[in-house]
Chains A and B, each alone.
Chain A
Protein backbone atom coordinates (compact mmCIF):
# COMPACT_ATOMS: atom_id res chain seq x y z
CA UNK A 1 0.00 0.00 0.00
CA UNK A 2 2.73 2.43 0.94
CA UNK A 3 4.42 2.27 -2.45
CA UNK A 4 1.23 3.01 -4.35
CA UNK A 5 0.68 6.41 -5.88
CA UNK A 6 -2.42 8.53 -5.28
CA UNK A 7 -3.79 7.42 -8.64
CA UNK A 8 -3.30 3.73 -7.71
CA UNK A 9 -4.74 4.22 -4.23
CA UNK A 10 -7.91 5.76 -5.63
CA UNK A 11 -8.41 2.64 -7.78
CA UNK A 12 -7.53 0.33 -4.87
CA UNK A 13 -9.93 2.05 -2.46
CA UNK A 14 -12.78 1.98 -4.96
CA UNK A 15 -12.12 -1.68 -5.79
CA UNK A 16 -12.19 -2.33 -2.01
CA UNK A 17 -8.73 -3.94 -2.11
CA UNK A 18 -8.29 -2.25 1.27
CA UNK A 19 -10.35 0.18 3.31
CA UNK A 20 -9.47 3.80 4.00
CA UNK A 21 -9.07 2.90 7.67
CA UNK A 22 -6.64 0.05 6.89
CA UNK A 23 -4.65 2.31 4.61
CA UNK A 24 -4.56 5.16 7.15
CA UNK A 25 -3.56 2.78 9.96
CA UNK A 26 -0.74 1.33 7.85
CA UNK A 27 0.68 4.75 7.00
CA UNK A 28 0.30 6.10 10.54
CA UNK A 29 2.37 3.11 11.68
CA UNK A 30 5.07 3.92 9.16
CA UNK A 31 5.02 7.58 10.19
CA UNK A 32 5.44 6.73 13.88
CA UNK A 33 8.22 4.26 13.11
CA UNK A 34 10.10 6.76 10.91
CA UNK A 35 9.65 9.78 13.15
CA UNK A 36 12.72 9.32 15.42
CA UNK A 37 15.06 9.00 12.45
CA UNK A 38 13.50 11.46 9.98
CA UNK A 39 11.58 13.96 12.14
CA UNK A 40 9.44 14.67 9.09
CA UNK A 41 6.33 15.55 11.11
CA UNK A 42 5.59 18.26 13.67
CA UNK A 43 2.08 16.95 14.43
CA UNK A 44 0.86 13.41 13.80
CA UNK A 45 -2.94 13.58 13.95
CA UNK A 46 -3.90 9.92 14.37
CA UNK A 47 -7.32 10.36 15.98
CA UNK A 48 -8.57 12.87 13.42
CA UNK A 49 -7.09 10.84 10.59
CA UNK A 50 -8.81 7.62 11.66
CA UNK A 51 -12.13 9.44 12.11
CA UNK A 52 -11.79 10.96 8.63
CA UNK A 53 -10.83 7.56 7.21
CA UNK A 54 -13.91 5.94 8.76
CA UNK A 55 -16.04 8.68 7.21
CA UNK A 56 -14.29 8.05 3.87
CA UNK A 57 -15.17 4.34 4.05
CA UNK A 58 -18.83 5.26 4.64
CA UNK A 59 -18.81 7.59 1.62
CA UNK A 60 -17.12 4.97 -0.57
CA UNK A 61 -19.67 2.32 0.44
CA UNK A 62 -22.54 4.73 -0.22
CA UNK A 63 -21.16 5.48 -3.69
CA UNK A 64 -21.12 9.15 -2.82
CA UNK A 65 -17.42 9.79 -2.67
CA UNK A 66 -15.58 12.78 -4.16
CA UNK A 67 -12.41 12.17 -6.21
CA UNK A 68 -9.78 11.86 -3.45
CA UNK A 69 -11.91 10.10 -0.81
CA UNK A 70 -9.75 8.06 1.52
CA UNK A 71 -6.43 9.21 0.07
CA UNK A 72 -3.96 9.94 2.90
CA UNK A 73 -2.00 13.19 2.65
CA UNK A 74 0.04 15.49 4.86
CA UNK A 75 0.13 19.30 4.94
CA UNK A 76 3.23 21.42 5.35
CA UNK A 77 2.78 23.09 8.73
CA UNK A 78 2.48 26.48 7.02
CA UNK A 79 -1.16 25.79 6.09
CA UNK A 80 -3.78 26.69 8.66
CA UNK A 81 -6.03 23.71 9.31
CA UNK A 82 -9.08 24.22 11.53
CA UNK A 83 -8.51 22.82 15.01
CA UNK A 84 -5.00 21.71 14.12
CA UNK A 85 -1.80 23.00 15.68
CA UNK A 86 -0.17 25.12 12.98
CA UNK A 87 3.34 26.16 13.94
CA UNK A 88 5.11 27.22 10.74
CA UNK A 89 8.14 25.45 12.24
CA UNK A 90 8.44 28.21 14.84
CA UNK A 91 8.35 28.72 18.60
CA UNK A 92 6.40 31.88 17.76
CA UNK A 93 3.40 29.71 16.80
CA UNK A 94 4.30 26.70 18.91
CA UNK A 95 0.82 26.40 20.40
CA UNK A 96 -1.26 28.15 17.78
CA UNK A 97 -4.44 26.24 16.97
CA UNK A 98 -5.70 27.48 13.62
CA UNK A 99 -9.28 28.79 13.78
CA UNK A 100 -9.87 28.23 10.07
CA UNK A 101 -8.86 26.13 7.08
CA UNK A 102 -6.56 27.45 4.40
CA UNK A 103 -8.24 27.22 0.99
CA UNK A 104 -5.76 24.49 -0.04
CA UNK A 105 -6.72 22.50 3.06
CA UNK A 106 -10.46 23.11 2.58
CA UNK A 107 -10.39 22.00 -1.05
CA UNK A 108 -8.53 18.78 -0.26
CA UNK A 109 -10.89 18.13 2.64
CA UNK A 110 -13.90 18.64 0.37
CA UNK A 111 -12.34 16.18 -2.09
CA UNK A 112 -12.25 13.56 0.66
CA UNK A 113 -8.53 13.40 1.38
CA UNK A 114 -7.51 12.13 4.83
CA UNK A 115 -4.94 14.31 6.62
CA UNK A 116 -2.40 12.31 8.63
CA UNK A 117 -0.53 15.28 10.08
CA UNK A 118 1.48 18.47 9.59
CA UNK A 119 4.98 18.24 8.24
CA UNK A 120 8.17 19.83 9.51
CA UNK A 121 9.66 22.81 7.70
CA UNK A 122 12.28 25.52 7.93
CA UNK A 123 11.00 28.22 10.29
CA UNK A 124 8.55 30.52 8.51
CA UNK A 125 9.63 28.86 5.25
CA UNK A 126 13.07 30.48 5.42
CA UNK A 127 15.75 28.01 4.57
CA UNK A 128 17.03 25.48 2.05
CA UNK A 129 17.85 22.56 4.32
CA UNK A 130 15.11 22.18 6.96
CA UNK A 131 17.72 22.92 9.62
CA UNK A 132 16.10 26.08 10.96
CA UNK A 133 12.94 24.47 12.34
CA UNK A 134 12.26 25.05 16.04
CA UNK A 135 11.24 21.39 16.12
CA UNK A 136 14.61 20.03 15.01
CA UNK A 137 16.01 19.26 11.57
CA UNK A 138 14.50 16.78 9.15
CA UNK A 139 16.82 14.11 7.77
CA UNK A 140 17.07 12.86 4.22
CA UNK A 141 15.67 9.31 3.97
CA UNK A 142 18.34 8.48 1.36
CA UNK A 143 21.14 9.23 3.82
CA UNK A 144 20.28 10.26 7.37
CA UNK A 145 23.37 12.44 7.84
CA UNK A 146 22.21 14.68 5.01
CA UNK A 147 19.57 17.35 4.63
CA UNK A 148 16.32 16.76 2.74
CA UNK A 149 16.37 20.32 1.43
CA UNK A 150 14.04 23.11 2.46
CA UNK A 151 11.93 24.75 3.36
CA UNK A 152 9.46 21.89 2.60
CA UNK A 153 11.89 19.25 3.89
CA UNK A 154 9.31 17.41 5.99
CA UNK A 155 6.84 17.04 3.12
CA UNK A 156 9.57 15.89 0.72
CA UNK A 157 11.06 13.39 3.19
CA UNK A 158 7.59 12.02 4.02
CA UNK A 159 6.77 11.39 0.36
CA UNK A 160 10.23 9.96 -0.43
CA UNK A 161 10.05 7.59 2.55
CA UNK A 162 6.60 6.42 1.45
CA UNK A 163 4.98 7.70 4.66
CA UNK A 164 2.31 9.47 2.58
CA UNK A 165 1.72 9.34 -1.18
CA UNK A 166 1.45 13.12 -1.41
CA UNK A 167 1.95 16.27 0.64
CA UNK A 168 1.23 19.94 0.21
CA UNK A 169 4.11 22.38 0.31
CA UNK A 170 5.03 25.97 -0.56
CA UNK A 171 7.69 27.54 -2.76
CA UNK A 172 8.99 31.10 -2.43
CA UNK A 173 12.56 30.68 -3.73
CA UNK A 174 12.63 26.96 -4.49
CA UNK A 175 11.17 25.42 -1.34
CA UNK A 176 9.18 22.74 -3.18
CA UNK A 177 11.54 22.03 -6.06
CA UNK A 178 14.85 21.92 -4.20
CA UNK A 179 13.72 19.37 -1.56
CA UNK A 180 12.02 17.40 -4.36
CA UNK A 181 15.39 17.17 -6.12
CA UNK A 182 17.34 16.25 -2.97
CA UNK A 183 14.78 13.61 -1.95
CA UNK A 184 14.08 12.08 -5.36
CA UNK A 185 10.43 13.08 -5.66
CA UNK A 186 8.30 15.25 -7.95
CA UNK A 187 7.73 18.83 -6.79
CA UNK A 188 5.43 21.30 -8.53
CA UNK A 189 5.31 25.07 -8.02
CA UNK A 190 2.33 26.48 -9.94
CA UNK A 191 2.09 29.90 -11.60
CA UNK A 192 1.76 32.77 -9.13
CA UNK A 193 -1.95 33.28 -8.50
CA UNK A 194 -2.96 29.76 -9.62
CA UNK A 195 -3.35 28.42 -6.07
CA UNK A 196 -4.92 30.50 -3.32
CA UNK A 197 -2.65 31.78 -0.56
CA UNK A 198 -5.55 32.24 1.88
CA UNK A 199 -4.57 30.51 5.12
CA UNK A 200 -1.00 29.89 3.94
CA UNK A 201 1.13 31.75 6.46
CA UNK A 202 2.78 34.58 4.52
CA UNK A 203 6.53 34.85 4.03
CA UNK A 204 6.99 36.95 0.84
CA UNK A 205 3.63 37.77 -0.64
CA UNK A 206 4.72 38.45 -4.21
CA UNK A 207 6.68 35.18 -4.38
CA UNK A 208 4.87 32.59 -2.21
CA UNK A 209 2.94 29.86 -3.97
CA UNK A 210 1.36 26.64 -2.69
CA UNK A 211 2.03 23.40 -4.55
CA UNK A 212 2.55 19.67 -4.28
CA UNK A 213 5.10 16.96 -3.54
CA UNK A 214 4.22 13.57 -5.02
CA UNK A 215 6.04 10.61 -6.55
CA UNK A 216 4.62 11.16 -10.01
CA UNK A 217 3.60 13.97 -12.35
CA UNK A 218 0.28 12.15 -12.79
CA UNK A 219 -0.45 12.57 -9.07
CA UNK A 220 0.68 16.21 -9.19
CA UNK A 221 -1.81 16.78 -12.03
CA UNK A 222 -4.63 15.28 -9.96
CA UNK A 223 -3.82 17.30 -6.86
CA UNK A 224 -3.24 20.56 -8.71
CA UNK A 225 -6.70 20.22 -10.25
CA UNK A 226 -8.10 19.98 -6.72
CA UNK A 227 -6.29 22.90 -5.11
CA UNK A 228 -6.04 25.35 -8.02
CA UNK A 229 -8.58 27.99 -8.93
CA UNK A 230 -9.87 31.44 -8.16
CA UNK A 231 -10.48 32.29 -4.51
CA UNK A 232 -12.15 35.60 -3.69
CA UNK A 233 -10.41 35.58 -0.30
CA UNK A 234 -6.95 35.88 -1.89
CA UNK A 235 -6.66 39.21 -3.67
CA UNK A 236 -3.81 37.90 -5.83
CA UNK A 237 -5.75 34.84 -6.93
CA UNK A 238 -6.27 34.80 -10.69
CA UNK A 239 -9.68 34.34 -12.29
CA UNK A 240 -8.91 31.70 -14.84
CA UNK A 241 -10.58 28.32 -15.33
CA UNK A 242 -8.79 25.22 -14.05
CA UNK A 243 -8.30 22.59 -16.78
CA UNK A 244 -8.30 18.87 -16.07
CA UNK A 245 -4.52 18.53 -15.90
CA UNK A 246 -4.74 14.73 -16.24
CA UNK A 247 -6.21 15.01 -19.75
CA UNK A 248 -3.06 16.35 -21.41
CA UNK A 249 -0.50 14.12 -19.63
CA UNK A 250 -0.01 11.73 -22.54
CA UNK A 251 0.20 14.19 -25.43
CA UNK A 252 3.17 13.34 -27.67
CA UNK A 253 6.28 15.51 -27.36
CA UNK A 254 6.98 15.68 -31.09
CA UNK A 255 8.03 19.20 -31.96
CA UNK A 256 8.32 20.34 -28.33
CA UNK A 257 10.85 23.20 -28.24
CA UNK A 258 13.10 22.89 -25.20
CA UNK A 259 15.30 25.82 -24.22
CA UNK A 260 18.57 25.08 -22.41
CA UNK A 261 19.65 28.01 -20.32
CA UNK A 262 23.23 28.94 -21.08
CA UNK A 263 23.48 30.49 -17.58
CA UNK A 264 22.52 27.18 -15.89
CA UNK A 265 24.95 24.93 -17.74
CA UNK A 266 27.94 26.92 -16.56
CA UNK A 267 30.99 26.25 -14.44
CA UNK A 268 29.02 26.25 -11.18
CA UNK A 269 27.22 23.01 -12.11
CA UNK A 270 28.54 19.67 -10.81
CA UNK A 271 29.71 17.73 -13.93
CA UNK A 272 28.12 14.51 -12.64
CA UNK A 273 24.77 16.30 -12.48
CA UNK A 274 25.27 17.67 -15.97
CA UNK A 275 25.78 14.12 -17.32
CA UNK A 276 22.41 13.07 -15.87
CA UNK A 277 20.68 16.16 -17.27
CA UNK A 278 22.07 15.47 -20.74
CA UNK A 279 20.80 11.86 -20.56
CA UNK A 280 17.38 13.11 -19.54
CA UNK A 281 17.38 15.53 -22.47
CA UNK A 282 18.28 12.60 -24.77
CA UNK A 283 15.14 10.78 -23.56
CA UNK A 284 13.03 13.81 -24.46
CA UNK A 285 14.81 14.23 -27.79
CA UNK A 286 14.09 10.59 -28.62
CA UNK A 287 10.39 11.44 -28.27
CA UNK A 288 10.68 14.22 -30.82
CA UNK A 289 11.60 17.26 -28.74
CA UNK A 290 14.06 19.75 -30.20
CA UNK A 291 16.69 21.49 -28.12
CA UNK A 292 18.08 24.99 -28.47
CA UNK A 293 20.29 27.17 -26.36
CA UNK A 294 18.76 30.30 -24.85
CA UNK A 295 20.30 33.02 -22.73
CA UNK A 296 18.73 34.98 -19.91
CA UNK A 297 21.49 37.55 -19.38
CA UNK A 298 20.03 38.99 -16.16
CA UNK A 299 19.44 35.62 -14.53
CA UNK A 300 22.73 35.63 -12.57
CA UNK A 301 21.27 38.61 -10.66
CA UNK A 302 18.35 36.54 -9.42
CA UNK A 303 19.90 35.49 -6.08
CA UNK A 304 20.84 39.04 -5.00
CA UNK A 305 17.47 40.31 -6.23
CA UNK A 306 15.63 37.68 -4.25
CA UNK A 307 17.64 38.37 -1.10
CA UNK A 308 16.45 41.96 -1.19
CA UNK A 309 12.81 41.39 -2.18
CA UNK A 310 12.05 38.33 -0.03
CA UNK A 311 13.49 39.66 3.24
CA UNK A 312 11.79 43.03 2.62
CA UNK A 313 8.42 41.37 2.22
CA UNK A 314 9.10 39.02 5.14
CA UNK A 315 9.93 41.89 7.48
CA UNK A 316 6.56 43.38 6.64
CA UNK A 317 4.61 40.12 6.92
CA UNK A 318 6.21 39.07 10.19
CA UNK A 319 5.41 42.39 11.86
CA UNK A 320 2.07 40.84 12.84
CA UNK A 321 3.85 38.58 15.34
CA UNK A 322 3.99 40.97 18.26
CA UNK A 323 2.91 38.93 21.28
CA UNK A 324 -0.42 40.76 21.53
CA UNK A 325 -3.18 38.84 19.78
CA UNK A 326 -1.72 35.37 19.21
CA UNK A 327 1.56 33.54 19.28
CA UNK A 328 4.39 33.60 21.74
CA UNK A 329 4.50 36.25 24.44
CA UNK A 330 7.55 36.81 26.64
CA UNK A 331 7.29 36.48 30.42
CA UNK A 332 6.82 39.60 32.57
CA UNK A 333 7.09 42.31 29.93
CA UNK A 334 8.20 45.60 31.51
CA UNK A 335 6.31 47.78 29.04
CA UNK A 336 4.85 47.57 25.54
CA UNK A 337 8.22 48.04 23.82
CA UNK A 338 9.69 45.22 25.90
CA UNK A 339 6.68 43.05 25.07
CA UNK A 340 7.24 43.48 21.35
CA UNK A 341 11.03 43.21 21.42
CA UNK A 342 11.36 40.19 23.69
CA UNK A 343 8.37 38.28 22.32
CA UNK A 344 9.89 38.63 18.86
CA UNK A 345 13.50 38.24 20.00
CA UNK A 346 12.68 35.06 21.90
CA UNK A 347 9.98 33.68 19.62
CA UNK A 348 11.87 33.86 16.33
CA UNK A 349 14.93 31.78 15.42
CA UNK A 350 18.24 33.20 14.10
CA UNK A 351 17.59 32.86 10.35
CA UNK A 352 14.18 34.48 10.64
CA UNK A 353 15.66 37.35 12.64
CA UNK A 354 18.46 37.70 10.10
CA UNK A 355 15.94 38.04 7.27
CA UNK A 356 13.75 40.47 9.19
CA UNK A 357 16.87 42.56 9.87
CA UNK A 358 17.91 42.42 6.19
CA UNK A 359 14.42 43.38 5.07
CA UNK A 360 14.16 46.21 7.57
CA UNK A 361 17.52 47.52 6.39
CA UNK A 362 16.72 47.50 2.67
CA UNK A 363 13.40 49.22 3.28
CA UNK A 364 14.75 51.83 5.68
CA UNK A 365 14.94 55.53 4.90
CA UNK A 366 17.97 56.30 2.79
CA UNK A 367 18.29 52.75 1.51
CA UNK A 368 14.89 52.04 -0.01
CA UNK A 369 15.75 53.39 -3.48
CA UNK A 370 19.23 51.91 -3.62
CA UNK A 371 18.16 48.44 -2.56
CA UNK A 372 14.45 47.66 -2.70
CA UNK A 373 13.42 49.77 -5.68
CA UNK A 374 16.59 48.74 -7.53
CA UNK A 375 15.81 45.07 -6.88
CA UNK A 376 12.24 45.53 -8.15
CA UNK A 377 13.65 46.96 -11.37
CA UNK A 378 16.10 44.07 -11.80
CA UNK A 379 13.18 41.75 -11.15
CA UNK A 380 11.39 43.34 -14.11
CA UNK A 381 14.48 42.71 -16.27
CA UNK A 382 14.60 39.05 -15.25
CA UNK A 383 10.89 38.59 -15.96
CA UNK A 384 11.35 40.24 -19.37
CA UNK A 385 14.26 37.85 -20.15
CA UNK A 386 11.98 34.87 -19.47
CA UNK A 387 9.15 36.32 -21.57
CA UNK A 388 11.53 36.81 -24.48
CA UNK A 389 12.79 33.22 -24.14
CA UNK A 390 9.26 31.81 -24.15
CA UNK A 391 8.57 33.55 -27.44
CA UNK A 392 10.89 30.98 -29.01
CA UNK A 393 10.64 27.85 -26.82
CA UNK A 394 7.87 25.97 -25.04
CA UNK A 395 9.74 25.01 -21.87
CA UNK A 396 13.12 25.69 -20.26
CA UNK A 397 15.02 22.74 -18.80
CA UNK A 398 17.98 22.64 -16.47
CA UNK A 399 19.20 21.31 -13.14
CA UNK A 400 17.12 22.02 -10.03
CA UNK A 401 20.09 22.27 -7.66
CA UNK A 402 23.86 22.79 -8.04
CA UNK A 403 24.67 19.76 -5.85
CA UNK A 404 23.07 16.69 -4.32
CA UNK A 405 22.01 16.65 -0.65
CA UNK A 406 24.73 18.12 1.56
CA UNK A 407 25.51 17.11 5.13
CA UNK A 408 23.62 18.53 8.10
CA UNK A 409 25.57 21.46 9.49
CA UNK A 410 27.71 21.85 6.37
CA UNK A 411 26.30 25.20 5.28
CA UNK A 412 25.02 26.83 8.43
CA UNK A 413 28.00 29.07 9.19
CA UNK A 414 27.68 31.48 6.24
CA UNK A 415 24.16 32.40 5.17
CA UNK A 416 25.29 33.36 1.66
CA UNK A 417 26.58 29.81 0.98
CA UNK A 418 23.14 28.49 1.90
CA UNK A 419 21.41 31.13 -0.25
CA UNK A 420 23.36 30.01 -3.35
CA UNK A 421 21.52 26.65 -3.23
CA UNK A 422 18.57 28.47 -4.72
CA UNK A 423 20.47 29.65 -7.76
CA UNK A 424 18.46 27.64 -10.29
CA UNK A 425 15.05 27.89 -8.69
CA UNK A 426 14.69 31.55 -7.75
CA UNK A 427 14.16 32.91 -11.30
CA UNK A 428 10.78 31.17 -11.60
CA UNK A 429 9.58 32.77 -8.34
CA UNK A 430 10.69 36.26 -9.37
CA UNK A 431 8.88 35.94 -12.69
CA UNK A 432 5.86 34.10 -11.25
CA UNK A 433 6.38 31.12 -13.58
CA UNK A 434 5.29 27.51 -13.03
CA UNK A 435 8.09 24.97 -12.56
CA UNK A 436 8.43 21.30 -11.71
CA UNK A 437 11.35 19.17 -10.53
CA UNK A 438 11.43 15.46 -11.39
CA UNK A 439 14.00 12.82 -10.41
CA UNK A 440 16.50 12.12 -13.23
CA UNK A 441 19.13 9.91 -11.67
CA UNK A 442 21.61 9.51 -8.84
CA UNK A 443 25.14 10.67 -8.07
CA UNK A 444 26.87 8.52 -5.43
CA UNK A 445 23.49 7.17 -4.33
CA UNK A 446 21.91 10.60 -3.86
CA UNK A 447 18.98 11.82 -6.00
CA UNK A 448 19.26 14.50 -8.68
CA UNK A 449 16.40 16.60 -10.03
CA UNK A 450 15.67 18.01 -13.48
CA UNK A 451 13.74 21.27 -13.50
CA UNK A 452 11.23 22.17 -16.19
CA UNK A 453 10.01 25.78 -16.27
CA UNK A 454 7.04 26.98 -18.32
CA UNK A 455 5.33 30.24 -19.25
CA UNK A 456 2.53 31.62 -17.06
CA UNK A 457 -0.31 29.07 -16.66
CA UNK A 458 1.69 26.51 -18.64
CA UNK A 459 1.18 23.74 -16.03
CA UNK A 460 -0.49 21.40 -18.54
CA UNK A 461 2.61 21.34 -20.69
CA UNK A 462 4.97 20.97 -17.72
CA UNK A 463 3.02 18.02 -16.36
CA UNK A 464 2.84 16.49 -19.85
CA UNK A 465 6.63 16.66 -20.34
CA UNK A 466 7.27 15.36 -16.82
CA UNK A 467 4.77 12.51 -17.27
CA UNK A 468 6.14 11.43 -20.65
CA UNK A 469 9.63 11.44 -19.14
CA UNK A 470 8.41 9.30 -16.21
CA UNK A 471 6.76 6.82 -18.58
CA UNK A 472 10.14 6.32 -20.28
CA UNK A 473 12.29 6.14 -17.11
CA UNK A 474 11.98 4.75 -13.60
CA UNK A 475 14.00 7.16 -11.43
CA UNK A 476 10.79 8.32 -9.77
CA UNK A 477 9.99 4.77 -8.66
CA UNK A 478 13.21 4.25 -6.72
CA UNK A 479 12.81 4.24 -2.96
CA UNK A 480 15.44 4.85 -0.28
CA UNK A 481 16.72 1.49 1.04
CA UNK A 482 15.17 1.59 4.49
CA UNK A 483 11.80 2.81 3.23
CA UNK A 484 11.08 0.73 0.12
Chain B
Protein backbone atom coordinates (compact mmCIF):
# COMPACT_ATOMS: atom_id res chain seq x y z
CA UNK B 1 0.00 0.00 0.00
CA UNK B 2 1.71 3.09 -1.24
CA UNK B 3 1.27 6.45 0.43
CA UNK B 4 0.19 9.19 -1.97
CA UNK B 5 1.74 12.62 -2.18
CA UNK B 6 -1.52 14.06 -0.87
CA UNK B 7 -1.39 11.84 2.23
CA UNK B 8 2.24 12.79 2.91
CA UNK B 9 1.37 16.50 2.54
CA UNK B 10 -1.43 16.03 5.06
CA UNK B 11 0.82 14.23 7.55
CA UNK B 12 3.46 16.94 7.23
CA UNK B 13 0.80 19.54 7.91
CA UNK B 14 -0.46 17.70 11.02
CA UNK B 15 3.12 17.35 12.25
CA UNK B 16 3.83 21.03 11.53
CA UNK B 17 6.88 20.15 9.44
CA UNK B 18 7.90 22.21 6.44
CA UNK B 19 9.38 19.80 3.91
CA UNK B 20 10.92 20.34 0.48
CA UNK B 21 9.61 18.48 -2.59
CA UNK B 22 12.61 16.17 -2.46
CA UNK B 23 11.97 15.43 1.22
CA UNK B 24 8.28 14.79 0.59
CA UNK B 25 9.13 12.22 -2.12
CA UNK B 26 11.76 10.56 0.05
CA UNK B 27 9.38 10.34 2.99
CA UNK B 28 6.56 8.98 0.81
CA UNK B 29 8.90 6.15 -0.15
CA UNK B 30 10.27 5.39 3.29
CA UNK B 31 6.88 5.64 4.97
CA UNK B 32 5.51 3.19 2.40
CA UNK B 33 8.30 0.75 3.35
CA UNK B 34 7.64 1.22 7.05
CA UNK B 35 3.92 0.67 6.51
CA UNK B 36 4.80 -2.59 4.69
CA UNK B 37 6.90 -3.65 7.69
CA UNK B 38 4.04 -2.82 10.02
CA UNK B 39 1.54 -4.77 7.89
CA UNK B 40 2.94 -7.97 9.42
CA UNK B 41 0.91 -7.07 12.51
CA UNK B 42 -2.25 -7.78 10.54
CA UNK B 43 -1.99 -11.52 11.16
CA UNK B 44 -1.64 -11.25 14.94
CA UNK B 45 -4.40 -12.87 17.03
CA UNK B 46 -5.38 -9.89 19.14
CA UNK B 47 -9.12 -10.32 19.63
CA UNK B 48 -9.97 -9.78 23.32
CA UNK B 49 -6.45 -8.52 24.11
CA UNK B 50 -6.35 -5.28 26.11
CA UNK B 51 -3.99 -2.71 24.56
CA UNK B 52 -0.88 -2.28 26.69
CA UNK B 53 0.13 1.32 27.25
CA UNK B 54 2.40 0.76 30.24
CA UNK B 55 4.98 -2.04 30.36
CA UNK B 56 4.57 -2.91 34.04
CA UNK B 57 1.35 -4.64 35.07
CA UNK B 58 -0.85 -2.92 37.63
CA UNK B 59 0.68 0.56 37.40
CA UNK B 60 -1.64 3.53 37.63
CA UNK B 61 -0.96 7.22 37.21
CA UNK B 62 0.36 8.53 40.51
CA UNK B 63 -1.15 11.78 41.74
CA UNK B 64 0.24 14.32 44.17
CA UNK B 65 -1.31 16.78 46.58
CA UNK B 66 -2.37 20.04 44.91
CA UNK B 67 0.19 22.20 46.68
CA UNK B 68 2.54 24.87 45.34
CA UNK B 69 6.08 23.51 45.48
CA UNK B 70 7.92 25.62 42.91
CA UNK B 71 8.92 29.30 42.96
CA UNK B 72 8.87 31.86 40.14
CA UNK B 73 12.16 31.60 38.28
CA UNK B 74 10.90 32.66 34.88
CA UNK B 75 13.87 34.90 34.10
CA UNK B 76 16.25 32.02 34.69
CA UNK B 77 14.19 29.56 32.64
CA UNK B 78 13.68 32.06 29.84
CA UNK B 79 17.40 32.29 29.18
CA UNK B 80 16.94 29.67 26.47
CA UNK B 81 14.04 31.50 24.81
CA UNK B 82 14.53 32.76 21.24
CA UNK B 83 12.69 36.04 21.89
CA UNK B 84 11.37 37.32 25.19
CA UNK B 85 10.00 40.71 26.30
CA UNK B 86 8.80 41.51 29.79
CA UNK B 87 8.60 37.83 30.62
CA UNK B 88 6.50 37.07 27.54
CA UNK B 89 7.54 34.79 24.67
CA UNK B 90 7.34 36.71 21.40
CA UNK B 91 5.85 35.09 18.29
CA UNK B 92 4.57 36.47 14.96
CA UNK B 93 1.14 38.05 15.17
CA UNK B 94 -1.52 35.40 15.73
CA UNK B 95 -4.74 37.38 15.75
CA UNK B 96 -5.46 39.63 12.81
Say whether B62 faces chain A, with CB atoms less than 8 Å apart.
Answer: yes
Question: Are the CB atoms of B76 and A325 closer together than 8 Å?
Answer: no
Question: Are the CB atoms of A377 and B17 closer together than 8 Å?
Answer: no
Tell me which residues across on chain A come within 8 A of B83, comparing CB atoms: 329
Say whether A375 faces chain B, with CB atoms less than 8 Å apart.
Answer: yes
Interface string of B1-34 (1 = CB under 8 A from A): 0010001100110111111000100110011011
Question: Are the CB atoms of A374 and B41 closer together than 8 Å?
Answer: yes
| Smallest Cβ-Cβ distance to A420: which chain B residue | B37
Kindly state the interface size class of chain A when it binds its partner: 35 or more
Question: How many Å from the CB of B25 to the closest CB on chain A?
Answer: 13
| Smallest Cβ-Cβ distance to B96: which chain A residue | A335
Q: At the interface, is chain A mostly helix, strand, loop or mixed?
A: helix
Tell me which residues across on chain A come within 8 A of B19, comparing CB atoms: 345, 353
Q: A236-B59, A373-B51, A376-B52 are in contact. Are A345 and B30 (CB under 8 A)?
A: no
| Smallest Cβ-Cβ distance to A415: which chain B residue | B30
Contact of A344 among B8, B16, B38, B59 (CB under 8 A): B16
- Complex alpha-carbon distance, A374 and B49, angstroms: 9
Question: Are the CB atoms of A354 and B27 closer together than 8 Å?
Answer: yes
- Complex alpha-carbon distance, A326 and B82, angstroms: 6
Say whether A153 faces chain B, with CB atoms less than 8 Å apart.
Answer: no
- Complex alpha-carbon distance, A338 and B16, angstroms: 9
Say whether A193 faces chain B, with CB atoms less than 8 Å apart.
Answer: yes
Tell me which residues across on chain A come within 8 A of B85, comparing CB atoms: none
Stretch binding the partner chain, chosen from A60-68, A181-189, A297-305: A297-305
Tell me which residues across on chain A come within 8 A of B27, comparing CB atoms: 353-354, 357
Question: Are the CB atoms of A345 and B34 closer together than 8 Å?
Answer: no
Question: Are the CB atoms of A348 and B51 closer together than 8 Å?
Answer: no
- Complex alpha-carbon distance, A376 and B55, angstroms: 10
Question: How many Å from the CB of A10 to the closest CB on chain B?
Answer: 33
Stretch binding the partner chain, chosen from A103-111, A128-136, A379-387: A379-387
Question: Are the CB atoms of B37 and A304 closer together than 8 Å?
Answer: yes
Tell me which residues across on chain B come within 8 A of A333, comparing CB atoms: 91-92
- Complex alpha-carbon distance, A345 and B22, angstroms: 13
Question: How many Å from the CB of A70 to the closest CB on chain B?
Answer: 30
Counting from the closest, the 9 A-B pairs by CB-CB distance are A432-B55, A376-B51, A345-B18, A341-B18, A377-B46, A329-B82, A380-B52, A326-B80, A340-B16
